[in-house]
Every structure is written in C-alpha cells, then in structure tokens.
Amino acid sequence: MEVQPNSPSTQDLQPNPNPNPNPNPSDHDRNPLPKDQLPITTKTTPSNSKKLTLLPLIFLIYFEVAGGPYGEEPAVQAAGPLLALLGFLLFPFIWSIPEALVTAELSTAFPGNGGFVIWAERAFGPFWGSLMGTWKFLSVVINIAAFPILCVDYLEKIFPVFDSGWPRYVAIFAMICILAILNYFGLTIVGYVAVALALVSLSPFILMSLISIPKIRPHRWISLGQKGVKKNWNLYFNTLFWNLNFWDNVSTLAGEVDQPHKTFPLALLVAVIFTCLSYLLPLFAVVGSVSVDQSLWETGFHAEAAQIIAGKWLKVWLEIGAVLSAIGLFEAQLSSSAYQILGMADLGFLPKIFGLRSKKFNTPFAGILLSTGIVLAVSYLDFTVIISSANFLYSLGMLLEFASFIWLRRKMPALKRPYKVPMRLPGIVIMCLIPSGFLIFVMAIATKIVFLISGVMTAAGIGWYFFMKFCKARNWFKFNNNEFNPDEDS
C-alpha cells in the first residue's frame, strides 16, 4: 500500500500548540457558542482524588489494544508468513492511526466520562448516543470474556488439569472475580499495575528476539505459506482487527485524566508506536528463525517457538508473561467499560444507581459489578464466536463514531478543540472512509451465528433506549438531568 503525502501519520497526534486562536475573553463573551456547541462534561474525579497521568495512561491504552504479541499467531496460520507480516505492518496505517486521531480530537473536545457515547449524542441525538453505548459496551465486555479463557489456555500448558471439565470452569470463574476486585481499588493503581505487567510480559519476547538473530533466514519472511493450505480470510482479518482495535476505549475515562488536552494526544502517539513494535519485532524474529508446519501457528505458538529458539526455561517465562498480559488486558478494558457505565449514568442515559462510586476508592462500583456480571455470563462461549461477535458490534459502533466525528466537524466548526486533526472536512472524510470500508468487509464475512448474536443485542439496545424513556416518564427510577433528555431527540 502506498501512503499518500497527505495521509495522517503518528506525528499528527501531537497536541495543537495554540488550541484557542482567540484568547481575548471579552471577544468570547460577546460571541458565546450556542448551547448545543458547548462541550459536554460529566462528573469527573473529585479534586482530592488522584488523576491519571501520562505514564499509566500510555500503558492503559496499550492494554486496551494489545497487551503484547500474544494472539497474533493465527494470522500466520490463516494466510502465511508474508501476509501476516504485511498485515501487522500496514494495518496500523489503515486502522489504528485514523482511530487514534479521532480519539485524540474528540476526547480533548469532550473531556468527560462516557467518551464515544457523548460524541454520538452530540452529533445525532440521544437515541444514537444510547445505541452507541450499547454497541461499544457489549463489544468490550464480550471481548473481556476472551482474556480469562486465553489466560487459562496458557495455564493449562503448565497445569494440564485446567484443560477441560469443572477445574477449567472454576478457574475461569475465580479469575474473573479476583481481577474484578483488583479493579475496585482505583484507576491509578490499575494504571501502574499495567506498567509493571507490560515490562514483565514483554521481557521474554525481547530476549527471544535477540537470541533468534543468528538463526533468522530472511527468505522465510516472504513465504506465502505451505502449498495446498487454503487461506482463511475470516480468521486472518479478525485476528488483525482483534489485535489492533479498541483505541477509543480509553475515551470513556477522560474525566479521570490529568490535563486531558495535553495528556491524551501524547499518550496515544506513544502507545501507537509501542504497540506496533511489540507485534512486529517478535513476529519477524519467530517467522525468520523457526520452520514448522503452518497449522501449528495457533494462539500460544510463541511459547513453543521460545522453547525451540532458547529452551524450556524461556517457554515457561513466556507462558507466565501471557498470563500477566491477559490480566492487564482484563483490567484495562474492565476499567473502560465501568467508566462508560458511570458516564452514561451521569448523562442520564441510565438510572443514577449505575453511577454509584466507592466511597473509599472513588471507583465506579456499579459499573464494575454490571460489567463483571456480563463477562461471567458470556465467558463460556466459544473463543472464536466471542471475538467475532465483539468485532461485529465494535464495527457498528465505529461506523457511527466515524460518522459522528465528521458530522461534529460540520455541525460545530467553532467548538474549542485543544487537539485538532490537521485536515479539513474532505480530508477527514477520506481518512474515515478507508477504515470504514474495512469495517464493512469484516461485517460481511461474519458467520450466521455472529449475525444472530449481534442482531439480537442491537435489538435489545434499541428496546433498552425506549424502556429508559418509559421509566423516566413514569418516574420509576431516578435519573440525572445533566445534559441528556430522552424526549429531545434530534
């Protein structure tokens, strides 16, 4: 793929040095923005609570998206070494960078908990804000359910008792509950735990890549796969998408970030670079140094490759790192889903009870409970069905998110944007159309069961919106009347 000169790059994530071109307060007072062009803000962290700073935010974003090279192996199984390497090399330009740019601009323009829910509500009205919340929340909690499964899959390599039966079910249940409790102790703690988990879980990959250098044969990088092996495009694209999406998840906790107008763009810039390197370097190393049957490249093969390259000691270390990575992924994404629930309650999309915070730790207690309950409910589904359904729902939400981004540029040109993607309306339309085309492709190749699950959940989300309107009209529950009024649809 040839990158055009005006294509967005990672340097575009740097903050706008002069976000307010008219600093004269008197001019602003004489020409105030209309009410519907004022930024939405939700209830943020109280001043006596710790705000999330740059370093933990970088690693929270990293664990929202990747958590390491664990799970990239099926791309080789599905399409061969060359296409796997090209996929992880080019896909960030097609998908990751545009999504990160949209997140940087809108998170700094609307720095409140709820993120993409606020963006859709401001662009198209409360119905679409509510539906965005349904799609994104369900996609995240379904995705979260994959991580305890992935974790137990690695544990069973060390402890075979977790291979099947009740020990496996108990291990998944216990892991979900214990990790949810850790999230209760605070976002700052989760952020610094993410830093530690990233360092420990990536260290065996760094070591494996260095040891493999003398064994690398570059001709293996250009292999299209074994003869007679049919390419599995569904698995290939879902693997790329699953490993490189969810950049916007961090927007749901924008109200908890210290100086979001400065911190968000820089954190996203660093996280994009760091994530891409963490996928590419180990993949180049293992593909170039290990020659095995293509069918063996399933989730967890990196551990087997570590044993081939350096010995069993590195395999065990990498498997421990995989467990720690799954923990980091779970914690980061549970945080984003819990703060999304908190933000939706603050905005009046959900009853006030869903906005409950812990008195001691100030964490979204109700959001954590709700998210954990749904994760438990779907954690025993087939792993492939889980990630495919999450991808489908997320694709629906992202199409709405790109549309919201474009429409907000047109609808609110005077809105203060501390960071602004340096492109005019035609440019951002083109920037969003490319990943939107990929989203439509991912949805088109979904299986019937994925269509069924996604359709049922979408219908439930629409029904939920009208049920909330009914409850509010009957005063069955208490709602915040902050910014959202379900009787004022655009």
Q: Give tens-digit pLDDT for 140-150.
A: 998 888 888 87
Residue 242: alpha-carbon gap to chain centroid: 9
**Each residue's pLDDT tens digit, 143-177:** 888 888 877 877 787 788 888 788 888 888 998 99
Q: Measure the CA–CA gap between 166 and 372, rounded to whole angstroms.
A: 20
> In this prediction, what percent of the chain has a pLDDT beyond 70?
87
pLDDT at 43: 53
Instruction: Round to whole Å and give the CA distance between 357 and 351.
Output: 14
Express each pLDDT in 429-486 by its tens digit: 999 999 999 889 878 878 888 888 889 889 999 999 999 999 998 999 999 875 444 3
The angle formed by the CA atoms of residues 283, 284 and 290, to the nearest 5 degrees, is 85
pTM score over 0.85: no
Phi and psi of 485, rounded to 5°?
Answer: -125, 110
Q: pLDDT tens, 326-373? A: 899 999 999 999 999 999 999 999 999 999 998 888 889 999 999 999
Shortest CA distance to 478 belongs to which of 341, 344, 367, 345? 345
- Rounded to whole angstroms, the Cα distance separating 234 from 238 reads 6
- Neighbouring CB atoms inside 10 A of 182's CB total 15
CATH number assigned to the domain covering 51-474: 1.20.1740.10
- The whole-chain average pLDDT of the chain stands at 84
Coil/strand/helix, residue 44: coil
Which of 186, 188, 159, 225 lies closest to 57 in space, CA to CA?
188
